Structure 1
């Protein structure tokens, strides 16, 4: 399945597509262990489909988290205590 097609799926459809690909992958692995060599190229395609689905789902989770908790902008970094320790050591 193409990435753009996966991106257009809803969350439920995305989960269904991932489960379907995982089931097909299981069946192909089982057939391979029994000696059936048909569909071996399909294994790679199914693995990629599962990875793409998981990636899109994770991107959506991250985007939702960013929308819910916006990052603080222009926050000053913590002050270093290294120079204070050096000054105290010299004195």
Structure 2
């Protein structure tokens, strides 16, 4: 997901997306531990998406632009 797409979302949508990504990361880590993970790059992508969302949420907070 690109940063421009994330910026268009509301605060509630961002929080929901963040929770979804965190649960997906948990599942991927579990698969990694049990040697069932097919695509290890998926871990990296999910972590980066979480970081993007948190960054944009913080930007919105600092701007006072909480929707």
TM superposition score normalised by structure 2: 0.91
CA distance in structure 2 between the aligned counterparts of 1:52 and 1:5, rounded to whole angstroms: 11
CA distance in structure 2 between the aligned counterparts of 1:60 and 1:25, rounded to whole angstroms: 24
Pick the structure with greater CA Rg: 1
Any runs of at least 4 consecutive aligned residues in structure 1 with deviations exceeding 4 A, and if so which? none
Listed as ranges, the gaps of 5+ residues in structure 1 are 66-91
More contact order relative to length (CA 8 Å, sep ≥ 6): 2
Match of 2:16 in 1: 16
CA distance in structure 2 between the aligned counterparts of 1:37 and 1:12, rounded to whole angstroms: 31
The total of aligned residue pairs comes to: 65
Aligned-residue Cα RMSD (Å) equals: 1.3
